Structure 1
Amino acid sequence: MDALLFDESLNKISFLFRYGGLSLASRTRTTTQTVKIRLLYLFNSFWLNVDLAGGIYWFIDGLKNGKSFIELTYIAPCIALAFMANIKSLFMIVNETRIDEMIDILRSLEVTVKNSKRVESKEEIVAREKSFLYCVIKMLNILNVVVVLTFSISPFVLMLIKYMKIKELELMLPFFIIYPFDSYDIRYWPFAYLHQFWSEWVVILDICSADYFFFTCCSHIRTQFLLLAYDLENIIPDLDNSITQTADIAFNKKFVEIIRRHQVIIGAARLLEAIYTKSTLYNFTSSSILICLTGFNVVAIEDVALIVTFLLFLSMCLLQVFFLCFFGDMLMRSSMKISNAAYNSRWYSADPVIAKSFLIVLTRAQKPCKLTAMGFADVNLMAFTSVLSTSWSYFCLLNTMYKPSSV
């Protein structure tokens, strides 16, 4: 039997979980593997949170000692993103059992489809959804790598520019972080630089691991809804007008199988909601602040190198929350296609018993499967516009506060 497409999708993102200290197969791990994974996660978490604590301390100290508004807003979005990485990775660990259950459900659904009759139209649906998912992951991988490298390289660019102007070498770091030693001492500077560089990667690994698994599950659940809609729409063959489809044993078996698949897919969507609903609430809340502060840095900072850096950072923040909402919206809309499929089927050429069964399916399918941020907001494109609207309001307020101090 050919390898499952869902397993292929998981293999595309497994390296993120492996290096982040997370796991996609907690049920099959040995005790030794579990210890290794937990130790790696704790090491990464400690490494990141040392920098996070230093950044928070610098921010508080900057408020007390009158650091410039731009310096404070420079570190603030980085702190918010580090908090997001912590929360997303923590909920992935807390929900490991549910993640295993989700993987089993999507595998079983794909096996059911593979065992059915091969249809070219259904294969085109699968290929299209697979291509889109892989394209999104590849694009985000490239952007995330560019953002990390840009943040890492920008201190060297600024050091070079300053050296050319004043002929003095002033050591710089990617982020404003206070350590228990002088991080700008040439003896400790390389360690502090490498420490911040790896912290950046830990943030990216944690966020991308959670997001990519979310995208993968949404894409495969959507695929199952589309395949189910195709089967439902074509369950009654194009018979002669004088022939009426009766509720015989063969038809009843196929119809019951479709109902069962529909219930399993709905259960998968609910399980995905349970895994991500809490972290999504923080994601929506923090994204407004992240986009606002990053946009302000782009406008207020004068160094071209930093402007480019924060433009890329802004793109990453926008795309992160956009695709979160986009895939949630895709799942919701695909669930409603079951209702359209029931209506577009040839129910009119069936006897009344079958027509009533189609009506029940149509009525149930009109209630969409949707993901939420703990019930406060639906995860769809409307939520993305709300995040942008809130970010713009914060940005205008922040810009107004900054202008008087710059006069």
Structure 2
Amino acid sequence: MDDKKIEARREIDESFKLCLFSMKFIGLSFTKPASNEAYLVQKMIVLISVCSICYHVFSEVMNIIFTFANSPKVEEVVPLFHVLGYGALSIFKMSVMWYQKDVFNRLIEELSSIWPMPPMNEESQRIKEKSLSALRVRHLGYYYVNLYGVWFYNITPIFVFLHERFQGMETKFGFVWTSWYPFDKHQPFAHFMVYLFEIYAGVTCVWIMVASDLLFSGLASHIGLLLRILQRQLESLGTTRKTEDEQYNDIKSSIKLHQRLISYCMSIEEAFSFVNLINISMSSVNICCVVFVIVLLEPMMSVSNKLFLMSQLLQTGVLCWYADDIINANARIAVGAYNSRWYEMSPRCRRALRFLILRAQKPIAFTAMKFTNISLVTYSSILMRSYSYFTLLYTMYRDG
């Protein structure tokens, strides 16, 4: 591997730093463990993580069933669904991260071979620095919102207990989640162990969500970066004195890079398509349920639930934002080619540019298992559906 590719891989790994950091806590990595002991530790963490979130989701399902059987009221059942939805989505994302880890490693390695490295013109360097800086800020914001959100949930039972005790009320120490267990969880030792388990399960879900979402957004952001640099290169065609063969070779190189980026996007689409479908399908229900809880129920959990809502809106918004960015960046490739000095080029060069423009007019889009293209329009639809579901639940709650 040459020095330029090594430096490119270092820059890419730096942009995925929070993603790789989060993956360690669920036992995943894109690099081979250094020793057999490290391999066994990694497998053990994966096993514990999977078992914890699977039981967490199972316990939420059982709790919903028993709650609905005993008291089928909207205000009793609805607060349980957003936690179940978040946990179920974590299982799907964990499955994708595990089964596709070799694919993701290949994609990152392939990205290093087309990563923009010096010497670069000033405009391309500015685009690169701006994109990497924006990605870093977004990743930090997303990481801390999720992390603070889950820890607010974890410590809320402590604050509720102290608040009620300070008010002179008769109170019992609660739990992080309202889950079902096949034993009496209120016994002192069982209570302590369940509380620790629920903390671990919740944090594990967040590590999975953060790792998956930061991986997707990082890959999509880098493709958008390369498409924007390609657009600027196309716009500069014909601005410098070159022979016909040199101009033709420049256009041919641009076409090859564009085709490679299209293939790269399709690989990302294939890896994330199923989990994107689950994400899009569940987001409206999750957002609706947590808004219902914030507006009408559980005032003591308001801060935690508001952070949960922010996390859910960001999680879905990140997916739709970067998917929309890819669509727009690819469409601007055709604009960039048209804005070049094609009218001063030879017929052969113009035919090649025409081919590029026609291909760029065909959208590159991430989909939910081919059912729908994901974009900011999708995000708007999710929010509108969430509001519709909320008004329905509110009507049922008021009439009940």
TM category, shorter: over 0.9
In the alignment, is the contact (CA less than 8 A) between 1:163 and 1:170 conserved in 2? no
Map 1:104-183; keep pairs closer than 5 Å. 104-110=109-115, 113-114=116-117, 117-183=119-185
- 2:354 maps to a residue whose letter is L
| Equivalent residue in structure 2 for 1:310, among 302, 305, 310 | 305
Counterpart check, 1:19 vs 2:22: no
| Equivalent residue in structure 1 for 2:274, among 262, 278, 293 | 278
In the alignment, is the contact (CA less than 8 A) between 1:105 and 1:264 conserved in 2? no
User: Which residue does 2:340 correspond to in 1?
Assistant: 345
Q: Which runs of 5+ in 1 are unaligned?
A: 240-244
Q: Structure 1 residue 304: deviation in Å?
A: 2.9
Would you identify which runs of 4 or more consecutive aligned residues in structure 1 move more than 4 Å?
28-35
Q: How far apart, CA to CA, are the structure 2 residues paired with 1:50 and 1:77?
A: 16
User: Which residue does 1:190 correspond to in 2?
Assistant: 192
Counterpart check, 1:69 vs 2:74: yes
In the alignment, is the contact (CA less than 8 A) between 1:17 and 1:24 conserved in 2? no
- SS, match of residue 22 in structure 1: coil
- SS, match of residue 182 in structure 1: coil
- 2:373 maps to a residue whose letter is D
| Equivalent residue in structure 2 for 1:355, among 340, 344, 350 | 350
User: Which residue does 2:244 correspond to in 1?
Assistant: 247
| Equivalent residue in structure 1 for 2:62, among 36, 57, 62 | 57
| Two-structure CA RMSD over aligned residues (Å) | 1.9
Percent identity reads 24
Q: How far apart, CA to CA, are the structure 2 residues paired with 1:261 and 1:63?
A: 56
Q: Structure 1 residue 32: deviation in Å?
A: 6.0
Q: 1:81 to 1:121 in 2, by over 3 A?
A: same
Q: Which runs of 5+ in 2 are unaligned?
A: none
User: Which residue does 1:367 correspond to in 2?
Assistant: 362
Q: How far apart, CA to CA, are the structure 2 residues paired with 1:159 and 1:70?
A: 22
- 2:204 maps to a residue whose letter is V
Q: How far apart, CA to CA, are the structure 1 residues paired with 2:105 and 2:330?
A: 23
User: Which residue does 1:10 correspond to in 2?
Assistant: 16
User: Which residue does 1:90 correspond to in 2?
Assistant: 95
Is the deviation greater in 276-285 or in 17-26? 17-26
In the alignment, is the contact (CA less than 8 A) between 2:221 and 2:322 conserved in 1? yes
- 1:328 maps to a residue whose letter is A
The alignment covers a number of residue pairs equal to: 394
TM-score, normalized by length of structure 2?
A: 0.93
Map 1:263-342; keep pairs closer than 5 Å. 263-301=259-297, 303-342=298-337
Counterpart check, 1:41 vs 2:46: yes
Q: Structure 1 residue 21: deviation in Å?
A: 1.8
In the alignment, is the contact (CA less than 8 A) between 2:248 and 2:349 conserved in 1? no
Q: How far apart, CA to CA, are the structure 2 residues paired with 1:371 and 1:344?
A: 27
Q: Structure 1 residue 335: deviation in Å?
A: 1.0
Is the deviation greater in 291-300 or in 28-37? 28-37
Q: Structure 1 residue 216: deviation in Å?
A: 0.3
Q: How far apart, CA to CA, are the structure 2 residues paired with 1:324 and 1:318?
A: 10
Q: 1:335 to 1:312 in 2, by over 3 A?
A: same
Q: How far apart, CA to CA, are the structure 1 residues paired with 2:53 and 2:351?
A: 58
